[in-house]
Chains A and B, each alone.
Chain A
Amino acid sequence: MAIAAANSRRIAGACGPLSITVTTDDPALAHIASAYFDLYSRRWTAMSRHVEVHLVRAGVAALECGNYLRCGRMQVDRRGAHYLAVTRCSFVALGTCNDGRGDRWIVAVPPQTVFHEPEIGEMEDIFSLICTIAWRAEGWTAVHAGAVMKGQTCALLCAPSGGGKSTLTAALVASGWQTLGDDKLLLRIREGSPFLASVLQTFNLDPGTSRWFDVGDIEGLPRYSAWTQKRRVHVDRIGNGLAAESARPTHLICLVRSSGVNGMRVSKLDDAAVLPALLRQIVIPSDREAARSILQTAISCARTMQGLQLEIGDDAYARSGWLDAIEDAIA
């Protein structure tokens, strides 16, 4: 890790159990890092791992094969404690992840890079990688799902990107449910049973959802990422005080958009379908150690959850009684 110059910028943040320090002397890189790590607004009381990230302008040639992870715009290799990520725009991230001393990353961005949406997206991909590797080292599995809770019930909301997780989460919060988040959660096994924790207190809502819930001037809010029109909306804006910190998941709900359904329709999911549904919300690297740990967590979790399928018709939220179908099925 290079030592930061006297005029460098230092950004200190937290992502769940991680404390993160980003240093750079490049204003554009500092701005992107700051915007990304600001997303993680839920402050944990105990942070167990430190991650240092140094961002530099430098051209670095690197050959990668994607033996750890293959993303749409990034390939990642792993050799022991060392990681190498290369993006399409030739951003190169080198990381050393050591259980005893935390993680150290250096991210090199070619000097001529001008940041438009693809370039910002690739920086976000690198930051996501840095966080997920560190979370995993702390025993947490990152789950791309929403979670809502009421009483002793906590339901994981599963769907691919654009599948309606955020809208349903927001709709339930507007109806008095609590939430742990709408698309980024951390999962682990604690005292023999699955345990979910929140890292974000913002929704990523499509401006179109304002026709169903009062979220004020959603168009004027900051965009969630370079790749989407979705806006970052704080949970309190929809349901004040309904952001929850942790829960034991009891249900898994697979969301399916279905224009042939009037309103919403809930059906029971076969027990054997719960694990595949959960695994589809988790990135599993091609790395035996990481994959085994994720599988164990997912299997333990899937076995304790009841599975449901929720078909969501067009304009379902505009129909009265849509909530009853869900609450009746879960209660």
Chain B
Amino acid sequence: MQSLNVRASSIVMRSTLVATVVEDGAVLLDLESKYFYALNESAWAIAQLFENESVSVEAILDCCRRWGAQAPDEIAVREFLNQMSACGLLEECAPAPRVPFIEFKGEWRVPVITRQREPLQTIVTSAFDPSVPLAE
């Protein structure tokens, strides 16, 4: 997968992703690839900025500064976005007119996204059995 040039882009999360909030971040499941991802609290706060509407990378960096990110953290934020892009979780598009307000009450840390090593099965045995179907 090609990396997005996040420096110049506005981005939005792909509509195939489902997010579930957990106490220390969120879990994202890609319904297409069936990979799932763990996001720490800072990563989830960032991801919410473009969960439903597009936002520019500059606006994301502004929000991160407001949440406590220091100048050197910009590299980590861009790296996080690049990682999401490389995993096929982002789409490039025109920026929405306004940036959503996301309240971040946690302690700012470098955003981390961890992809589960193996995806879940995309083709299953039956509606009940998620095993790989037997070869016929």
Contact = CB atoms under 8 A, between A and B. Distances in A.
Nearest to B132: A160
Contacts of B122: 70
B123 A70 contact: yes
A81 interface: no
Contact of B126 (A124, A160, A281, A286): A124
Contact of A76 (B18, B34, B127, B133): B127
Contacts of B120: 279-280, 284
Interface string B17-28: 010101000010
Interface stretch (A171-179, A210-218, A237-245, A289-297): A289-297
Interface stretch (A6-14, A125-133, A254-262, A314-322): A125-133
B127 A128 contact: yes
A268 B128 CA distance: 28
A167 B130 CA distance: 19
A227 B129 CA distance: 13
B120 to A, nearest CB: 6
A281 B130 contact: yes
Given A184-B128, A292-B20, A72 B134 contact: yes
Range of interface residues on A (Cβ < 8 Å): 35 or more
B127 A283 contact: yes
B99 to A, nearest CB: 24
Interface string A256-288: 000000000000000010011001111110111
Nearest to B133: A72
Contacts of A73: 133
A92 to B, nearest CB: 16
A71 interface: yes
Contacts of B132: 160
Of A71, A227, A303, most B-chain CB atoms within 10 Å: A71
Interface in B76-130: 116, 118, 120-130
A142 interface: yes
A219 B9 CA distance: 65
A74 interface: yes
A133 B126 CA distance: 12
Interface residues of B, number: 28
Given A295-B18, A295-B29, A299-B27, A69 B127 contact: yes
Contact of B128 (A132, A227, A286, A292): A132
Nearest to A85: B127
B5 interface: no
A113 interface: no
A227 B134 CA distance: 9
B31 interface: yes
A18 B33 CA distance: 32
B36 interface: yes
A71 B32 contact: no
A161 interface: yes
A144 interface: yes
B129 A288 contact: no
A292 B22 contact: no
Contacts of B129: 128, 144, 161, 283
Of B22, B29, B129, most A-chain CB atoms within 10 Å: B129
Given A292-B18, A295-B29, A128 B128 contact: yes
25 contacts: A72-B133, A74-B126, A74-B127, A76-B127, A128-B126, A128-B128, A131-B127, A132-B127, A160-B132, A161-B125, A161-B131, A275-B27, A276-B116, A280-B130, A281-B130, A282-B130, A283-B124, A283-B127, A283-B130, A286-B16, A286-B32, A288-B31, A291-B29, A295-B29, A296-B20
Given A144-B128, A283-B128, A291-B29, 16 more contacts: A70-B124, A72-B123, A72-B124, A72-B133, A128-B129, A161-B125, A272-B38, A276-B116, A283-B127, A283-B130, A286-B31, A288-B18, A291-B31, A292-B20, A299-B20, A299-B27
